[in-house]
Amino acid sequence: MYDCVIIGGGPGGITAAIYAIRAGMKTVIIEKLGVGGQIALSDIIENYPGFPSVSGPELMKHFEDHANNVGAEFKYGEVKKIESQGDKKIIEMSGENIETKSVIVCSGASPKKLGFKGEDEFIGRGISTCGTCDGPFYKNKEIAVIGGGDTAVKESIFLSKIASRVYHVHRRERFRAEKILTDRISKKENIEFMWKHVAEEALGDSSGVTGLRIRGVDGGEAKDLKVDGIFVFVGIIPSAGFIDCDKDEQGFIKVNHEMETSVEGIFAAGDCRVTPLRQVATAVGDAAIAAFKAQEYVSELEGRAYGKS
């Protein structure tokens, strides 16, 4: 039996593991795909202290190296369900069950769909949610970007270095991104802003996307943008369907200031929880608290105290 199972191998999960292992807990990290989480798909990060400008993969390589240095154990697979049996938790995976005394959920979140016509049909065939992954396919081509937050603006700037033209579609008349980002995107000559418009339909054929039909939020005539790719950045949905605990209306896990969920012995940290800000720095802070409280919880269960580290 483990003292602590950490679900998710992003910044939060790695941080939780480092703290838990240093506290003397027998710990394992369960990751569905590979270490890094969504941040590993980021082209550039400029707001993580100590790294003025670093790519997502590079930053996560530092995290992974640190985890390996403290002897972190990794298991790869998908968590289906967490079952709480008193002081014991059962992590149900495909073909394997893991027993643990505590759980820290750092499962993050995944890109949200808009729901316009053709979105599902052309996912992976011209519609993408990752500029870093798929941007190079559109070198010197025209593309559309949809969204108005930090991610949408950052990705639009990145993609403008690859594509010949970027049509940036946003349903409002201004972005809600950080000022430094909005200042930066406003200087990009090959980005055309389609303010107060929404995506109505992805146009295409058997070869993939050939265009995007948009319409003004106030109605009027539809416009067809001739593009080879459509990048959608309109928020995230939590990856937390495997846990039965209190959540908000969007499915994000509710926790208190000590990262405790409504289920004793289960904690949550990072993007999967209810929080006003989702950044690498906030995930790291959440995870440190969650691991500290998990250590306290397990210590109380066992009637022993771990030494400080």
Active site residues: 130, 133-134
Half-sphere exposure of 164 (CA within 13 A, CB side): 6
- Tokens 């941080």 correspond to 15
Q: Would you say 45 and 55 are in contact if contact means Cβ atoms under 8 Å apart?
A: yes
Residue environment code for 281-303, b if the CB has 16+ CB neighbours within 10 A, otherwise e:
ebbbbbbbbbbbbbbebbbeeee
- Report the distance separating Cα 159 and Cα 151, nearest Å: 12
Burial of 53 (0-12, 13-18, 19+ CB in 10 A): exposed
- Report the distance separating Cα 63 and Cα 48, nearest Å: 13
Q: Would you say 175 and 157 are in contact if contact means Cβ atoms under 8 Å apart?
A: no
Alpha helices in the chain (DSSP H): 11-22, 56-69, 119-122, 131-134, 150-160, 179-185, 280-302
